[in-house]
Structure 1
Amino acid sequence: MISGLLIPSLLGFALLLSGMKAMETSLQQWADNKLSTWIARSTATPLRGFAVGTTASALLQSSSAVTVLTIGFVNAGWLSLSRSFGIILGTNVGTCFTTELMSLRLHRYGVPLLAVALFGWVLTFLLNEWRDASRAPKRVLPLRYLSVAFGGFALLLIGFKLLQGIGPAMQDNGYFDLLMRHTNENLLWGVLGGAALTALVHSSSAVIAMSMGLAATGVLSPDAGIAIVLGANIGTCFTGLVASLGGGAGGRFVALSQLALNAGGALLFYPLIGLLHAASATLAPSDPSAQVAHAQTLFNVACSLIALPIAYLPKFR
């Protein structure tokens, strides 16, 4: 019974995480140094930095990648503190893009998307791009990266579907049912678990997607799923904190400001989880999975808009 539950759970989460990393890596390789140039030139004000952080995180499917890049720019003296703070605020909003896509119930198309991605990858191999990428025609390179990104997204959808499928088995298992009921009754455990798991796997989107899958089957309540969202936002700061250890004061400021923003937002909205659930339920009345995704978006947008004026204070200049 345990093996029949544990194996699909681990496999589903592994596919979620692998898909996320495949998308992140391929899109980063595609952007290359053009992303660095774009960020440096497009963040003249904190508001522009906010827009850039949102867009870059949505495109790269990784707020951590943009945060680490921002830390490097600040340490190099290319970005001011106010502009970097705007980017950090934007990363929290941009990271909602993946979970919002998943709330559209696209998991039924996971296998067809994987087949399309595989076809694109094979095509680049036939064009000799795989064996010698440096000499490949420029028009072929985007096809390779997009094929891998689509493949990663397909794996993510397949993993999400697997997690949805284990719901009935979890409800029949006394241990997991007790664990989920304990989390549903004490939302603080959801916050702590979401933070710890996100710090461990370096992907808040994967952890939130897992909670969406469990909420869709009724194993996890939407309130508990939202608590995991709050924790995941704290856990995602771990990568930036590690990246800032070897840099200067500016880089540490970026990492600590992200931690202060996300932890402060979690503390602010923890008593308001019921309100977040009610607001997201008006957008998706009969879909607990989508409610978790919408609550994440509402939470991150609200926190970023509340904190954005701080970047315009004189001491940030």
Structure 2
Amino acid sequence: MKGMASYSSSHGRLAMAGNLALFCLILELASVGLAHADELRVGYYSSSCPSVEDVVRNTVTNAVARDPGMPAALIRLHFHDCFVRGCDASVLLDSTPGNPAEKDSPTNNPSLNGFDVIDEAKSTLESQCPQVVSCADIVAFAARESVRIAGGFYYPVPAGRRDGLVSKESEVNQNLPMAFFNVKQLEDNFARKGFSLEDMVTLSGAHTIGDSHCSAFSNRLYNFKNTTNASDPSMDQTYVSDLKSKCPAPGSGQDPTVSLDPVTPRTLDNQYYVNVKSHRGLLSSDQALMNRADTARMVLANINSGSMWLHKFADAMVRMGKIEVLTGTQGQIRKSCRIIN
């Protein structure tokens, strides 16, 4: 017994020392991440490539003229990049033999778009400022231009990111929130990236533009919870009927898309929150925001002030653009966004 007591006491001291060392390591890693984010700055390319933001602006504007759905695609591209390995343009890398990349995850392929727009901007910038502007910064600028075009709101974007060298399909579903998540799962997912519950609700408002494949929510329309022909009772039934007219039952071999927001599908506004309150949130993760009192209050606040939400959205986008960034001599400036140098 005496020996056991001595072991327990010693083990306790070792555990405390180990925990302290781990805590110090976490603080060190966190401070490194913050230091990297602090190295980003507005006007980063003012001397090295002063045309960069104009080039991205013109490229995105022309792309939207060809495809009005492009703002949603570019905002989503930025989100999917930053939530996996940080904002390092890893989502742009092509798969290589033996290494399927992020863009080829079923979560991203074929629904993730905008790659050609980034390629076009990169090509122009390489001709003007060879190997100066990172693909990661181009993605951040393109997302900002998308907010400007779809929402009429401009915000400055700090730059100085460098491009990563690794992209793994297996890491996508480990990091991105899924369409079937409940509020707790969403909260935990965003918290791992340094975001609050309110940030999560704010960024969810991006679903006021863009489309979704029917397969992402068809379980809410047909045989809900294995009940024959039943739909999700939390959905407005008129909305269910409309969606069923556009989305065939699972097993048909067809997977069309519908607007995430049927009211203002091309305008970045607070209509998403009106839809959610009216039981017309398309994805389970959208409608889930009304299932908890705290997130429901945030939904109502965003309904009451669309301009406040847009300001919060822009602020959250800037902070999202700082997730686990590479700066200084880390990574590289890719010559092509699709392959490492």
| Common fold: TM-score over 0.5 | no
Work out which of the two has the higher radius of gyration on C-alpha atoms and give 1 or 2. 2
Question: With structure 2 as the length reference, what TM-score do the two structures score?
Answer: 0.27
TM-score by length of 1: 0.28
Structure with the higher fraction of residues in helix conformation: 1
